[in-house]
Every structure is written in C-alpha cells, then in structure tokens.
Structure 1
Amino acid sequence: MKFVTRDCDGKVEILTLNRPERRNALGEDILKDLLESVDRAASDKDVNVILLAGNGPGFSAGADLKDFSAGDIEGTFNLNGRLGAFVRSLTLIRKPVVCAVDGFALGGGLMLAASCDVVVTAPATRWHLPEVSLGWLPGFGLNTLATRVGPFVARSLSWSPTAIDGVEAHRLGLADILSPPNETAREVALHYAKDLAAMPPHAVLTTKQFFSTSIAAGAEVMDDLANRYFAQDILHETARANMQRFLPKKAAGV
C-alpha cells in the first residue's frame, strides 16, 4: 500500500499515514489504504494493538479538499459518508487503536484521532477544526468529539477561529495522554501500546466492547445529519469559493 505503511513491534502493528507531500490529507486513495490496512491488522491473530501515526510534519491536515472540490455534491456527500463510516468503525473493531499525534491534527484528521481508543499528543501539536471558518459544518465525527469533551466544548472547538495546543487538548479530554517535552507522541504511544498489548487480550477486548456501546451510540445517525448540513452548507457562495481554491488550475477553469 502506497499511502499507509505497516510496521510491527511485537504484538503492536504500527500503521502510518504516508502522504507527507499532501500533509496526510484524507482522500479516496488514503481511505482505501486505511480500510485495507486496519481490516488486515484487526483480523491478524498476532496483533493485539493497532497504533496509528502520521509520517512527515504532522498527523493529518484533514479531508483532501482536492477530492472534495473535484466532485459534484452527491460525490462529495458520499466521500464524507465513507470517511465517517471508517472513523466510526475504529470504536467497534475488536482491538484497541492507539493514536499518536505529533505536529498537527486538523479537520477530519482531528476527527480521525479523536475516534481512536487512546490518543497521545505532543504539547506543541496544533488541534483545529477550520471547517466553519471556510463555510461548512464538519461532516462527520462531531458525535464522537462531543462524547469525548461534552457538547458545549465540542461546539466551541467546532467554530473556534484559532487552534489549541496539545496541552489544552489534553486538559479538555480531546487527548488522553500528553507526551513529555523530550519525547514524541509516537514514542510515548508505542510504549503505551506495547504495555496494553502485553495484557490479557480477551479482557482488553471485553473492556473495549463494554464502553464502545455508549461511545458509538447515535454516532451513525448524528454523522448522517452532520453530512446533510455539510452538503447544504457547501452550496453557499463563501463555501464554494473556498472549495474552488483547492481545485487544480485546469479543473477550476483558470
């Protein structure tokens, strides 16, 4: 797979988003590789824990707006729906997913990280949802975000014009573990994942399953509602103008 690399460290499978030239943006190609790699790791009897990280300067800059901008409304709606279905699936697979966030987690990248079972952030990591400032509601992940931090904080994060750092993300509950200044989030996440992988896997599984019931409750319905609002929002002039900025020049008619 080109856009997701795979490494093993004992019983931990490390899946790394590998599209640094696009800041690990989430589009058709990387989604396909994520679906395949997570499915394979989840079914591998030699893997107890999955660790998700990003290659390059940050974890993920969010949805690939070139893919979103190039499609029609229906195609964009469907891509958003498939991204939402993938991030929701992380709560339901039978192995813990630990996420290491160095650099930045923006837009859909923030939602992807927040949907993992355990999130490790570096202090200087930038966390931000820029969608509302561009003219649209985030199309997936808001229910999970609200489950993590509460609805009032989730709303504040959704329309905030500025990013927060990893220290604040940890304080709010968006991240579970704050790495010390002398270690990357990936290093701390791997150490945590190896400790978790050494525990009895059947008990880890039942713990995940018990809490997944409440974490995932209503997420599919709320994601569908958010995606419908998103599709409505991108019809507005401001949103369309911002979408057009991400099109290749030829496609944009420039």
Structure 2
Amino acid sequence: MEYQYLLLDIAENVATVTINRPEKRNALAPDVLEEIITLFTSLGEREDVGVIVLTGGERYFSAGFDLNEIRKLEKVSNEAYTALFHRAYRAILFCPQPVIAAVGGPAIAGGFDLTMMCDIRYASSSARFGQREVVLSLTPLFDPLWRIIGLGRAKEVALTGRIYDAVEAERMGYVSRVYPEGELLASVRAIAVEMAGYDRMCLRESKRLSNQLLNTDLDAAMRTQEWLFRTYIGSDENHQRIDALQARLAAARTK
C-alpha cells in the first residue's frame, strides 16, 4: 500500500516508520492518523518484522495536533475525530512488536502522546517534549504517562504544559538515552536490529506481559511470570541461543 504521509523501510526484521509531513512539522492531520492505524495494524501481522522504529527523522518528531483541523470542530461533532486519535494511539500501544520512538526534534501535544505509546524512547539532543493540551483547553493523557514516570511527575508534565529538553526528559525517566544531534537514527537502528535478532515470539510475549502485569496483584504477577518463563526455558530455541552465546564467549577468551 502507498502512504502519503508515512515512509516505510523494512530491513533486517526492523520496520522503520517515518512521519513525513515536513511542511507542517509532521502535524497530525486526520489522514496521517488513518495511515498510522492502517500501517501499524498491517505491521502487527507480519512475521518478518520483529521490531518497529517510529520517527519523524533527525529534525522533527511531530509538532502535535493539526490546529487548523481542530479549529473546524464543534463539540457536537467531535466524536469521530477524537476516536481517530485514540485508534492511532492504540494501534501503536497494542502493536504486538516492540515499538521504539526515535525522537529527533519537537514531540509536542499529540506528537508527545505518540511517543508515550511506544515501548522505548530515545532522543536526539535537539529533541523537545511537551504535553501542551492544557494550554489549548484540552484534557491531557495521564495514562500511560504516569506508568512511565510516576504519578507526581506526570501531573507536573500534564498540568503545567511545560516543554522539556532531552536531558530533562532523560533525567525524569521518560527517555532512555540521548544521542548527539545527527546520530539518533543510526544509533537506534543498531539497537533495533539487535533486538530483532531475538526470538520473535519471546519479544512479543514479553511486551504483552509488561502491559498485563500493571493491573495484577503481586502474587498473580509472579505466577504469570513463572508460567510464561516455563513456556520458553528448555525449548530448542533457548538451547540454540545458549550454545551460540557460549561459543561466542569461548571464542572471545581465546583471542
């Protein structure tokens, strides 16, 4: 399928999805959201994709909502547009494969929300983050933000509408690592390729488990993790990877 606002590259079991609307700083118009839903749904069904990278390139991520589109809405006719945003969010959040956000520039409001739906976030030193909905008299998403950075910090981000640089985003635990400007995409790709070399189903089950355990009491969580671990330990794939690791370690010791 051809996409107008998304670029797709698949190589080495990694799908890189690039939001491509630079003249609008990758603002999220309805057509962009529709394409995100369609593409992530399609990628979720592909066996040749182990990891997905979502980015806007080295310069932008997404400036957020297309304000010209929102300005056309009325309260009595906003249901379809609101549902479209949340369908796009869910398409990323519940995509079976791990999704990595590579944030090269501003990720604001709806753009920030897209990064929130990803499993891991890496940023360029030029990245900026801000949940600006409250500034526009819109209610922000607290969940899953509070699960990522804690409730107190999530309240600050959501209620002040402040914009944070990449260093502060890393300090609060929202971003896992910050890369020098221009080095983000290559660095994140290397991580994604390594991850994509792992057991595909193990990656998917681990992602699903991480979401499932959030609403489970500790005893049930421990039992679930024990059961899932038991389905993989001792498998042929497990044995093959142990043998390969031990061979690499033995070869390294002889150098």
Q: TM-score, normalised by structure 2?
A: 0.78
**Counterpart Cα distance in 1 of 2:58 and 2:127:** 13
Which of 13, 19, 22 matches 2:21? 19
1:210 aligns with: 209
Q: Does 1:166 align with 2:160?
A: no
**Counterpart Cα distance in 1 of 2:76 and 2:165:** 35
1:197 aligns with: 196
Q: What residue ranges of structure 2 are gaps of 5+ in the alignment?
A: 217-255
2:151 aligns with: 151
Contact 1:91 1:216 in 2 (8 A): no
2:32 aligns with: 30
Q: Does 1:80 align with 2:82?
A: yes
**Counterpart Cα distance in 2 of 1:165 and 1:87:** 23
The sequence identity of aligned pairs, in percent, is 26
Partner letter of residue 23 of structure 1? R
1:120 aligns with: 122
Q: How does 1:103-118 map to 2 (within 5 A)?
A: 103-118=105-120
1:143 partner SS: coil
Which one has more relative contact order, counting CA pairs under 8 Å at least 6 apart?
Answer: 1
**Counterpart Cα distance in 2 of 1:104 and 1:94:** 27
Q: TM-score, normalised by structure 1?
A: 0.78
**Counterpart Cα distance in 1 of 2:37 and 2:83:** 14
**Counterpart Cα distance in 1 of 2:191 and 2:134:** 34
Deviation at 1:113, TM superposition (A): 0.5
State the number of aligned residues.
Answer: 214
**Counterpart Cα distance in 1 of 2:99 and 2:33:** 17
Contact 1:20 1:56 in 2 (8 A): no
Relative to structure 1, the CA distance from residue 74 to residue 215 in structure 2 (aligned partners, 3 Å threshold; closer, same or farther) is farther
Partner letter of residue 190 of structure 2? H
Relative to structure 1, the CA distance from residue 57 to residue 33 in structure 2 (aligned partners, 3 Å threshold; closer, same or farther) is same
Deviation at 1:161, TM superposition (A): 4.9
- The structure whose Rg is larger is 2
Moved more, 181-190 or 38-47: 181-190
Deviation at 1:25, TM superposition (A): 1.0
CA RMSD, Structure 1 to Structure 2 (Å): 1.9
2:8 partner SS: strand
Contact 1:111 1:142 in 2 (8 A): no
Partner letter of residue 168 of structure 1? E
What does the per-residue CA deviation read over 1:159-195, in whole Å, with 9 as the maximum and x for residues that have no partner?
Answer: 325311111111111112222x265322222111111
**Counterpart Cα distance in 1 of 2:35 and 2:151:** 32
Partner letter of residue 190 of structure 1? R
Relative to structure 1, the CA distance from residue 3 to residue 215 in structure 2 (aligned partners, 3 Å threshold; closer, same or farther) is farther
**Counterpart Cα distance in 2 of 1:146 and 1:63:** 22
Partner letter of residue 194 of structure 1? V
Contact 1:107 1:131 in 2 (8 A): yes
Q: What residue ranges of structure 1 are gaps of 5+ in the alignment?
A: 218-254
